[in-house]
Amino acid sequence: MEKVFASIITIGDELLIGQVIDTNSAWIARELNKRGMPVKNRVAVGDNRDDIWQALDNECGRASLVLITGGLGPTADDITKPLLADYFGGKMVIHETTLQHVIHLFESVFKRPVSDRNKKQAEVPDSCTVLFNESGTAPGMLFEKNGTVFISMPGVPHEMKWLMEHHVLPMISSRFATGFIAHRTLLTAGIGESMLADLIADLEADLPGWIKLAYLPNYGMVRLRLTASGMDKDLIERELSRHFDLLVSRTAEYLVAAEDIPLELAIGRLLQEKGKTMATAESCTGGYIAHLITAHAGSSAYYKGTVVSYANDVKEHALHVKPETLAAFGAVSEDTVREMVQGTLSLIGSDYAVAVSGIMGPDGGTPEKPVGMVWIAAGNAEKTIARQFRLRFDRQKNIEVTAVYALNLLRLLILEKS
Amino acid sequence: MEKVFASIITIGDELLIGQVIDTNSAWIARELNKRGMPVKNRVAVGDNRDDIWQALDNECGRASLVLITGGLGPTADDITKPLLADYFGGKMVIHETTLQHVIHLFESVFKRPVSDRNKKQAEVPDSCTVLFNESGTAPGMLFEKNGTVFISMPGVPHEMKWLMEHHVLPMISSRFATGFIAHRTLLTAGIGESMLADLIADLEADLPGWIKLAYLPNYGMVRLRLTASGMDKDLIERELSRHFDLLVSRTAEYLVAAEDIPLELAIGRLLQEKGKTMATAESCTGGYIAHLITAHAGSSAYYKGTVVSYANDVKEHALHVKPETLAAFGAVSEDTVREMVQGTLSLIGSDYAVAVSGIMGPDGGTPEKPVGMVWIAAGNAEKTIARQFRLRFDRQKNIEVTAVYALNLLRLLILEKS
């Protein structure tokens, strides 16, 4: 094989009828890329013998590594496992350690009787190396054919991730000639991709050929990722750090984090450093900002809560926005979001608060206040700042973009940059 | 070609490095399946000429319809469009209507100068039928080769959907021999897949061969979908209705909706029918329930807001949970969620409220209150009901499942079934 690369085959009818969105492939691709193993091809096929066979055949002898997910559940494995035995040779045998694990799971954890169908999960072709799956009943299986390594894993995300983390990822660098690879990522906000490219043009031009720069834009934020690869680990780490530090100081004005973390976590760290807390007051985002923040374990250290005031009387009663303000300027106005911030600070008792009010669409716009108009305010006991934005997306994306703008305005306030 | 089926090819490096989760394919697959066009194969390839060519060749003469998304942005189309011209024949020409549309978008909507690169979006191979794209700059293109219809669309979700809805989906039944197809879906909650299968076993056995039943389970809810296909539209509609009505009456006890809508919308309709409003009080779900509800346009008609009391003092100050209750029973307790419901009703002034408090993990559990323990209460001015649940998933999934259980408890209260 000339070049090392992987392919991903996803098995399951549920992917072909659109019942399930495939998040496994993106996760696998990201982890493999981090380790210098590019993914060339991703295929999804149904629980159909000919289609699975064809997908295996397309990759055999071509890809270095083929990761197969799905097709191993207690009802679907009637197709996939016998097929794997036929394709790679061998006969079905019971894997004793897996069988004991399945019995243990049913008897001690699920507290249900273990059926013959459940026990069959421990059957594997004897041509495979079993990758023990502590997180579920179906084991991983490793096969080799024509120089290609095939690994079959269950499609349940947490089981797939367990097998990847404990078996597959650790073998990548030892088994395949990927060399050494390292990444550094920084996150910027408030500057567009093309302006950012202008700002760092000379630094980008100075990068050696073995350090690549990627722009990863996402709603008013851009991630910059440096990837260095080669055989000399010391040289790679030294030069990668040097070039990364240059990028960090050049982009200082827009820098959210000099590592690969989301905006809401960067704000969490900032608050924890200062020993401060925050709260939110959401109208049009309907709890999405709170959900973003609380999706991270440990957020209770700095996040106190939100009031989603979807109705105007909640803005009045819970957040003490003045009826005169709502009457004179409306719910989507600078005065309203400023009063929402102050009301939240006093109701929730946090050090900082951020408030949003806007029209997310598709309906509800007026000529004066069209769909996409959003007011955002961030404040503490001393100071409140407010900004207006005009968004042009659909409802869901308008909500997501508003959350980013609101969090970034709060970040600027905490940093006293605004 | 013996059998009508479609394949999906997704083009873009961002899919192979895992930067983007492919939601387009699931949407396309769902819409095609609804119209009797099964999807056999989904492939993702990078912005690489050989790989795209190979993907086209694999489907040519095999699939009836190949839908291609991506590879048409102003920077990526240097690869895809010339390749399409080579693969299907023809030379590049300017599509005048598209050019005028691109110029109009830049001058009147984006209010930015239109560059030569932008104008190139109007270039297409003269071997294609252009599918005009009102929602963006890159047009759709339809090609035919060896009896297979290929349609290339931009990867931006709202542009792809616009082209599908205005050009592609309307041509499915006329262009391909899919016959007539119809679906009816119902949503149940509070009964597992296997118990549901027992409950309707005789009805399922009575279905004619041309009506298929699918179980679509998702966290304590199961959708049942009947799909009927054939040539006699009247017969199909009559028999489908008859069998569907039988399922509806048999599952009445667990029925959430006799149509394909999510739980939160079913509750919204119920509230609107009764002229009532609701609010939420969220601790461990951190705003996710509010986000689910407000993701739907029009939810302000029945949804008034939420208080996310992530910190205990917010439960006391905003929701008037008694300090003695928190001290005696803790935040994750029946008494606390009951008081949260009452506090929310008086703070927000809604007719109904639902409150949740639990430990979502991965940390924060104790032997007495382990990770996954959740208390949920739903109430109105007269009555409050509470339930305890034990969840076994990761943090994200625990949050999602809690939301479903909370909404369903509220639904049962509104229906006076609990």
CB of B153 within 8 Å of a chain A CB? The answer is no
Facing residue for B308 by CB, picked from A18, A306, A349: A306
Region of poorest pLDDT, from B39-53, B103-117, B221-235, B378-392: B103-117
The pLDDT value recorded for residue B74 is: 65
Cβ atoms of residues A308 and B305 within 8 Å? yes
User: What is the average per-residue pLDDT within A122-145?
Assistant: 95
- Residues of B (90-109) whose Cβ lies below 8 Å from A: none
Cβ atoms of residues A383 and A417 within 8 Å? no
CB of B168 within 8 Å of a chain A CB? The answer is no
CB of B291 within 8 Å of a chain A CB? The answer is yes
User: What is the average per-residue pLDDT within B92-106?
Assistant: 93
Q: Is pLDDT of A72 > 90? A: no
Facing residue for A26 by CB, picked from B20, B294, B295: B20
CB of A305 within 8 Å of a chain B CB? The answer is yes
Facing residue for A18 by CB, picked from B33, B282, B288: B33
- Percent residues over pLDDT 70 in chain A: 98
User: What is the average per-residue pLDDT within B278-296?
Assistant: 96
Chain B residue whose CA is closest to A50: B40
The pLDDT value recorded for residue A76 is: 56
Q: Is pLDDT of A17 > 90? A: no
Cβ atoms of residues A72 and A138 within 8 Å? yes
Chain A residue whose CA is closest to B280: A308
Judgement on whether residues A270 and A362 belong to the same structural domain of the protein: yes
Q: How far is B99 from chain A (nearest CA, A)?
A: 22
CATH number for the domain spanning A45: value is 3.40.980.10
The pLDDT value recorded for residue A262 is: 94
Judgement on whether residues B186 and B158 belong to the same structural domain of the protein: no
Q: Is pLDDT of B384 > 70? A: yes
Judgement on whether residues B328 and B379 belong to the same structural domain of the protein: yes
> Residue A266: how many CB atoms within 10 A of its CB?
20
The pLDDT value recorded for residue B287 is: 96
Q: Is pLDDT of A151 > 70? A: yes
CB pairs under 8 A between A and B: 240
Judgement on whether residues B46 and B118 belong to the same structural domain of the protein: yes
Judgement on whether residues B158 and B10 belong to the same structural domain of the protein: yes
Q: Is pLDDT of A74 > 70? A: no
- Residues of B (20-39) whose Cβ lies below 8 Å from A: 20-23, 25-31, 33, 38-39
Judgement on whether residues B45 and B17 belong to the same structural domain of the protein: yes
Q: Residue A1 domain-assigned? A: no
Of A140, A175, A210, the last residue of a domain is: A175
| Predicted confidence (pLDDT) per residue in B344-363, tens digit | 999 999 999 999 999 999 98
B142 vs B196: which has the higher pLDDT: B142
Q: Is pLDDT of B2 > 70? A: no
Judgement on whether residues A273 and A200 belong to the same structural domain of the protein: no
Q: Residue B1 domain-assigned? A: no
Chain B residues with CB under 8 Å of A185 CB are none
Q: How far is A181 from chain B (nearest CA, A)?
A: 15
Of A117, A141, A175, the last residue of a domain is: A175
* Structural domain span for residue A227: 180-257
Q: How far is A344 from chain B (nearest CA, A)?
A: 10
Q: How far apart are CA A248 and CA A257, in angstroms?
A: 9
Contact B318 A303 (CB under 8 A): no
Facing residue for A291 by CB, picked from B19, B30, B288: B288
Q: Is pLDDT of A220 > 80? A: no
Q: Residue A297 domain-assigned? A: yes
The pLDDT value recorded for residue B336 is: 97
- Testing the interface with B: which of A2, A9, A16 to mutate, by most B Cβ within 10 A? A16
| Predicted confidence (pLDDT) per residue in B238-254, tens digit | 999 999 999 999 999 99
The pLDDT value recorded for residue B79 is: 85
The pLDDT value recorded for residue B394 is: 85
Contact B304 A313 (CB under 8 A): yes
Q: How far is A298 from chain B (nearest CA, A)?
A: 8
CATH number for the domain spanning B239: value is 3.30.70.2860
User: What is the average per-residue pLDDT within A9-19?
Assistant: 86
Q: Is pLDDT of B75 > 70? A: no
Q: Residue A337 domain-assigned? A: yes
Chain A residues with CB under 8 Å of B51 CB are 40-41
Q: How far apart are CA A50 and CA A73, in angstroms?
A: 19
Contact A40 B30 (CB under 8 A): no
Facing residue for B294 by CB, picked from A287, A307, A348: A287
Judgement on whether residues B335 and B214 belong to the same structural domain of the protein: no
Chain B residues with CB under 8 Å of A308 CB are 287, 290, 294, 305-308
CATH number for the domain spanning B356: value is 3.90.950.20
Number of domains in chain A: 3
Judgement on whether residues A336 and A399 belong to the same structural domain of the protein: yes
CB of B317 within 8 Å of a chain A CB? The answer is yes
The pLDDT value recorded for residue A1 is: 40
Judgement on whether residues B323 and B275 belong to the same structural domain of the protein: yes
User: What is the average per-residue pLDDT within A40-60?
Assistant: 93
Closest C-alpha to A287, from B64, B124, B279: B279
Which H, E and C letters describe B223-257, residue by residue?
EEEEEEEECCHHHHHHHHHHHHHHHHHHCHHHEEE
> Residue A92: how many CB atoms within 10 A of its CB?
13
Does ipTM top 0.90? no
Contact A304 B314 (CB under 8 A): yes
The pLDDT value recorded for residue A381 is: 96
Q: Residue B192 domain-assigned? A: yes
CB of B290 within 8 Å of a chain A CB? The answer is yes
Contact B318 A305 (CB under 8 A): yes
Q: How far is CA B246 from CA A5, A41, B196, B203, B232, in A?
A: 53, 45, 14, 8, 21
Q: How far apart are CA B109 and CA B388, in angstroms?
A: 53
The pLDDT value recorded for residue B1 is: 40
Q: How far is B385 from chain A (nearest CA, A)?
A: 23
Judgement on whether residues A133 and A201 belong to the same structural domain of the protein: no
Chain B residues with CB under 8 Å of A29 CB are 15-18
Of A215, A241, A257, the last residue of a domain is: A257
Specify the DSSP class assigned to residue B139: P
Cβ atoms of residues A138 and A102 within 8 Å? no
Which residue intervals of B35-105 are DSSP H helices? Answer: 49-59, 77-88, 96-104
Chain B residues with CB under 8 Å of A309 CB are 305
Judgement on whether residues A410 and A294 belong to the same structural domain of the protein: yes
| Predicted confidence (pLDDT) per residue in B144-161, tens digit | 999 999 999 998 888 999
Which of the listed ranges A125-134, A154-163, B78-87 does the model predict with the highest average pLDDT? A125-134
Which H, E and C letters describe chain A, residue by residue?
CCCCCEEEEEECHHHHCCCCCCCHHHHHHHHHHHCCCCEEEEEEECCCHHHHHHHHHHHCCCCCEEEEECCCCCCCHHHHHHHHHHHHCCCEEECHHHHHHHHHHHHHHHCCCCCHHHHHHHEEECCCEEECCCCCCCCEEEEEECCEEEEEECCCHHHHHHHHHHHHHHHHHHHCCCCEEEEEEEEEECCCHHHHHHHCHHHHHCCCCCEEEEEEEECCEEEEEEEEEECCHHHHHHHHHHHHHHHHHHCHHHEEECCCCCHHHHHHHHHHHHCCCEEEEECCCCCHHHHHHHCCCCHHHCEEEEEEECCHHHHHHCCCCCHHHHHHHCCCCHHHHHHHHHHHHHHHCCCEEEEEEECCCCCCCCCCCCCCEEEEEEECCCCEEEEEEECCCCHHHHHHHHHHHHHHHHHHHHCCCC
Closest C-alpha to B77, from B146, B152, B182: B152
Q: How far apart are CA B3 and CA B312, in angstroms?
A: 61
